[in-house]
Amino acid sequence: MKSQRTPHRTVRVLLTLAALALPQGRLAAAQSGDFTYTHPGGEATITGYSGSGGPVYIPSSIGGFPVVGIGEGAFEGISSITSLIVSNGPASIGTGAFNGCAGLTNVILPDSVTSLGGGAFGGCYSLTGLTLGSGLANIGDYAFEACSALTNLALPASVTSIGDEAFDGTGITNVVIPAGVASIGTNAFGDCGMLAGVTVALGNRAYASSSGVLFDKAMTTLIQYPTGKPDASYAVPAGVKDIAYQAFSGCSNLVSVTLPNSLTNIEDAAFSECPALVSVTLPDSLANIGDVAFSDCPALASINIPGHVSAIGIGAFEGTAITNIVIPDSVASIGNDLCVGCVSLTNAVIGAGVASIAEAAFGSCTRLASVSLSAGLTNIADTAFNDCPLASLTIPDTVLSIGDNAFDGSKLVSVSLPDSVKSVGSTAFAGNPLLSSVSIGSGLTNLGSNAFLSAGVSNISVSAANPRFIAPGGVLIDKVQEVLLQYPARRPGATYTVPDGITELAQWSFSYASNLTSVTIPASVTSIGEWAFELCWRLTNVTILGDLASVGLYAFGSCPNVAGFYFAGDAPTNVNTGAFDTGSSFTVYYVSSTLGWTQFLRLNGFIGATWTPSGQAPLISGFAPQNKVFGFTVAVAPNTTVVVEACTNLSSPVWTALATNAPSSGTFSFSDPDWKNFRGRFYRARLP
C-alpha cells in the first residue's frame, strides 16, 4: 500500500495548487493510478478509468479522500474489465457507470452501496456472478438490462425499489422480492426467458405472488407472468381488474389464457409476442384493450371483443392470425395499425360507435375481402384498407372524409361516394385494375391527386349539385373548367380533344389511358403535369395548339408509339427531366412562323419538321406534274379530314369534290388525272 500512497500525496498537492488557479466553484479532475476522480467537499467520486482491464478493485479512499461513489459512465463500454470488487465505502454507482462492459463476468458490491443508477450494469452480457450488499435500497431503471448470462439473483432484504426494466432480458430463473420492496417499475423482470417464478416474501405490504406470478398486494393487478414459466395454460385469478404493461409479453410456452369477469383493463403490450398463444377468453367486464396488446401472436386465430369494450389501442391485433373481427357498437375508438398485416383476416365488421377508422387499421390484410361499415362513421384515415382485396364496399352516408391511399390496391369494381363525403385523399382508390366506374356525390369539394388512378376506370360521374367538380364525357374536371383532373384509363374512344378553357392537365391525369391514340390540347393549356400521359401505350399523335409554359417530369414517359408531337405555338419554355422520354423516336412538328424551335430541337436532340395546325385552311404547295399528271401537296393537321375541290370559273364557281383524305402524318399528295381535259381549272383544299 505504501507504494500507492506516495503518488496519491503528490497528486493531491498538484491538484490543490491547480485549484487555486481555477475560477471559484470549479475543481479539476485528479488522476491516481488507473483512476480519474473528483473530490468536491473532500469526498471522492471516481469518474474514469485508463487501466488495461482484467480485475478491477475500487478502493475505499483515493488521494487521501474517501470514495463515496462511482460517477456516471465512469467505466462505460470498457470491455477489457473482467471482474469488479468495490470496497466498503462508496454509497452510489452512477447512471451507466459500467454499462456495456461486455467482458465483465463477476461483480461484488459492498454493504455501503445504497443506490444503483439507471443502466449501471446494463448490457454486461457476460455477467454471471453478482453479489449485492446488504445496504442496497434502490436499483435504478435498466440497472442490469440485457445481462443475459446472469442466472442467479439474490436481492438483499434492504431493497425498497426496483426500477423499470431493471432486470429485463437477463437469464435469471427465479427471484424473491424482499419484504421491504415498496416499488417495482414497469417490466422490471420482462423478457427473462428462463424466469420460471416470482416469489414475494411474507410481510411485503405492496406486492403478492401466487403460483409464481407477481401481483399487487390487493391481487387486483397482475404485474408479471414469468416469461419462462413452463405451463401451457393459465387462468387469471378472480378479482384481478388489470393486466399490467407487458405482463405476459414474450411468454413462449403459453397456449391459452382465461381471464376473469372482474377484468376491466388490458394494458399496452400485455400479451405481445407470445408465439404459441392460440386462445384468449375475454370477459364481458372488459372495457379497454391497450396498444399492441396482442400484437405479434402469430398463432392467435380468433378473438372475441366483448360488448363493453370502449377503446382498442394502436396495433392491438397486429400480426396475429385472426380470420374474423367484429368490433361491437360499444367501441368508440380504434387505434392506428389495429390489424395491420393480419394476412389471414377475411372479414371485418365495424360497429356503430366507431367514428373514425384509424390510419392503417387494416392495412396489408391481404385476404380481407369483406368489410361492413356502420352509420355513424365519419372518417376513414390514410391507408386504412391499403392493399386489402375488397370486392365490394358500401360507404355510409355519414362519412365525411377518406384519407390518402385508404383503399389503394383494392379489388373494388365500382365506387359510389355519398353526398356526405367532402374530402378524398391522394390515390385513395388507386392501384386497382378492376375498378371500372366512379360516382361522386354532391358534397365532395376536396380531392387529392390521383384519387382514382386505376387502370380499369372507364367512366366518372359527378352529381349535378356538386359545386366543385363536373365530368363531361366521363372525364373529371374542376367546375370552373381550368384543370383536367382525371381521364378514365379505359374510357371508350381513340381520340380526345381537351375542352377549350382548360389551363392545366393535372399530374397523372391521362396515365394508363389504354384506348387513347390521339389527343388534341387546346391553346388555353399552359401546363402539363408530371407523368400526365405516362404509359399511354397506344398514343400515336399529340397536338398542342398553344404555348406551353411547363411540361412536367416524364409527362409523356413510356408512350412508345407516339410518332409525332404537333405544336402550333412557340417552343415550350420549361421542360422537366424526361418530359418527352417516350421510349422511341418521334418527330416534333412546328409552325414555321413560331419561335424557339431551333434551340429546342438542338438541346433535346429531336427531329423537327413544319406543319399546319388544325382549324387553319389547309396549305397547298409543290405545284408540279407528278408522273406527267398535274398535282400538289396538301398540309393539314394530322388525322384531320380535308377535301380537295376544283372549278373552272372563279366568277361563278361550282366546286366539285375530287378527293377526301385524313392523313395521319399531316400531309398527302394529290394528283388530277383529268387536268388536260380543261382549258383552265382552279383548285382548293378545305375542311368539311
pLDDT value of position 632: 80
Cα–Cα distance for residue pair 268/290, rounded to 1 Å: 4
> Among candidates 137, 123, 38, 127, which has minimal Cα distance to 91?
137
pLDDT digits (tens, 9 = 90+) for 78-102: 999 999 999 999 999 999 999 999 9
Cα–Cα distance for residue pair 314/481, rounded to 1 Å: 43
pLDDT value of position 345: 97
Q: Could you give the residue range(s) of every CATH 3.80.10.10 domain in the chain?
A: 1-202, 209-300, 493-611
pLDDT value of position 675: 84
pLDDT (average), residues 156-166: 98
Question: For the domain 493-611, what is the CATH code?
Answer: 3.80.10.10
Residue 135 confidence (pLDDT) above 50: yes
pLDDT (average), residues 264-271: 97
pLDDT value of position 624: 56
Q: Could you give the residue range(s) of every CATH 2.60.40 domain in the chain?
A: 619-686
pLDDT value of position 355: 96
Query: Is residue 205 classed exposed, middle or buried when 0-12, 13-18 and 19+ CB atoms within 10 A define those classes?
Result: exposed
Cα–Cα distance for residue pair 318/315, rounded to 1 Å: 5
pLDDT (average), residues 309-317: 97
pLDDT value of position 651: 83
- Judged by DSSP in three states, 473 sits in helix
Residue 213 confidence (pLDDT) above 50: yes
pLDDT (average), residues 64-84: 97
Q: For residue 383, what is its C-alpha cell?
A: 391507408
Residue 452 confidence (pLDDT) above 80: yes
pLDDT value of position 1: 35
Select the more confidently predicted residue: 272 or 8: 272
Residue 615 confidence (pLDDT) above 60: no
> Among candidates 507, 509, 545, 555, which has minimal Cα distance to 524?
545
Residue 230 confidence (pLDDT) above 70: yes
Q: Name the percent of the chain lying above pLDDT 90.
A: 83
* Nearest-5° Cα angle at 381, 379 to 387: 130
Architecture of the domain defined by 209-300: Alpha-Beta Horseshoe (3.80)
By the 8 A CB rule, do 414 and 440 touch? no
Cα–Cα distance for residue pair 509/169, rounded to 1 Å: 54
> Among candidates 623, 663, 628, which has minimal Cα distance to 643?
663
pLDDT digits (tens, 9 = 90+) for 367-383: 999 999 999 999 999 99
Select the more confidently predicted residue: 561 or 632: 561
Report the DSSP beta bridge partners of residue 30.
37
Q: Long-range pairs for 484-489 at CB < 8 Å and ≥24 separation?
A: 484/509, 485/447, 485/509, 486/450, 486/451, 486/452, 486/453, 486/457, 486/460, 487/513, 487/516, 488/457, 488/458, 488/459, 488/460, 488/513, 489/453, 489/454, 489/455, 489/456, 489/457, 489/458, 489/513, 489/514
Rg (CA), the chain: 40
pLDDT (average), residues 180-198: 95
Residue 133 confidence (pLDDT) above 90: yes
pLDDT digits (tens, 9 = 90+) for 560-575: 999 999 998 899 999 9
Structure confidence at residue 2 as a pLDDT band (50, 70, 90): very low
Structure confidence at residue 20 as a pLDDT band (50, 70, 90): very low
Cα–Cα distance for residue pair 202/218, rounded to 1 Å: 14
Residue 235 confidence (pLDDT) above 70: yes
Is 619-686 a CATH 2.60.40 domain? yes
Among the ranges given (66-75, 505-514, 619-628), the one the predictor scored with the smallest mean pLDDT: 619-628
pLDDT value of position 5: 31
Phi and psi torsions of 615, nearest 5°: 100, -20
> Among candidates 529, 514, 602, which has minimal Cα distance to 559?
514
Architecture of the domain defined by 1-202: Alpha-Beta Horseshoe (3.80)
Residue 650 confidence (pLDDT) above 80: yes
Residue 613 confidence (pLDDT) above 90: no
pLDDT value of position 587: 95
Phi and psi torsions of 41, nearest 5°: 70, 15
- Which are the contacts of 74, defined by CB distance < 8 A and separation ≥ 6? 46, 47, 48, 49, 94, 97, 98
Select the more confidently predicted residue: 85 or 672: 85
Report the DSSP beta bridge partners of residue 46.
37, 70
Q: What is the mean pLDDT of the chain?
A: 91
pLDDT value of position 616: 58
pLDDT value of position 25: 40
Residue 70 confidence (pLDDT) above 90: yes
Output the 3-class SS for 46-95. EEEECCCCEEEEECCEECCEEEEEECCCCCCCCCCEEEEEECCCCCEECC
By the 8 A CB rule, do 172 and 149 touch? no
Q: Name the percent of the chain lying above pLDDT 70.
A: 94
pLDDT digits (tens, 9 = 90+) for 574-595: 999 999 999 999 999 998 888 9
Cα–Cα distance for residue pair 39/27, rounded to 1 Å: 8
Residue 14 confidence (pLDDT) above 50: no
- Judged by DSSP in three states, 555 sits in coil
- Which are the contacts of 141, defined by CB distance < 8 A and separation ≥ 6? 118, 119, 163, 164, 165, 166, 185
The string of DSSP codes covering 263-299 is: --EE-TTTTTT-TT--EEE--TT--EE-TTTTTT-TT
> Among candidates 604, 560, 612, which has minimal Cα distance to 578?
604
Q: Position 17: which residue type?
A: L
pLDDT (average), residues 17-28: 42
pLDDT digits (tens, 9 = 90+) for 104-125: 999 999 999 999 999 999 999 9
Residue 139 confidence (pLDDT) above 80: yes
pLDDT (average), residues 505-533: 95
pLDDT value of position 662: 87
pLDDT value of position 619: 64
